[in-house]
Structure 1
Amino acid sequence: MKIKQWFAAAALLAAFGQAFAAVDVNSANEDALRGIKGIGPARAKAILDERGAHGPFKDASDLGKRVKGLGGHTVERLQAEGLAVGPANAQPAQGAQAAQKVAQASPAKPGAQTTPAVTVKK
């Protein structure tokens, strides 16, 4: 009986941990973006391409306007799933920049593990 309680408590803590973790669209790499429910490879690439071409996103509406297929309701849903739009002057973390350069230089091998950059809001 105690093992079941322990697993239930662990699952509850994991759920709360994910609820508070947010992925900042202005600093996240592809893997971090794909960690958000509703963002697949094509949408993550579109976000990164737009951010690379025209700079960081000012706010949620700017994200919705600049990335094809992300209307207001879609952006709201993605924000509910953990996507955050940080300040436009935010720079990607050095680890995220290095990981993105490596990923662009050499395609990842199938099954290779990568560490996504995650911004946690308090």
Structure 2
Amino acid sequence: MCAEQLAPGRGLEALAALFDLQDTEAPRFTIEKVERALGEVAETLGPGGKLRTCVDGEDAAATLAAQQRYLLSWVKARGGRVSVPQAFVVPIVDEALHLDDAMPATSAGKLLKLVEAPGSK
């Protein structure tokens, strides 16, 4: 989300780079590793630690907390038995997450269909 805010149109590219960090040695998501993984995208985010400021900011913390609450309720509704990892398509309207309209994506193909669906938000 921070990458998209700082470099509109580059968020999905940044997300792909973050997924690749899951296959690295722990700790997987240090700010230094994230910046290196973002590579070319990081250059468009600007100097002066803007990425770190965004990631550590109150807005990012509130968004993450809301997403964690949503996932917890989703897992509880399924009796606590779900496979991992989980992916969801969450509509964003006027820069606000609409978690009530989130849809789980059980495969990359389904995820693309949800994102590219006619009339998708």
TM-score scaled by length of structure 1? 0.37
TM-score scaled by length of structure 2? 0.37
* Larger relative contact order (Cα-Cα within 8 Å, sequence gap ≥ 6): 1
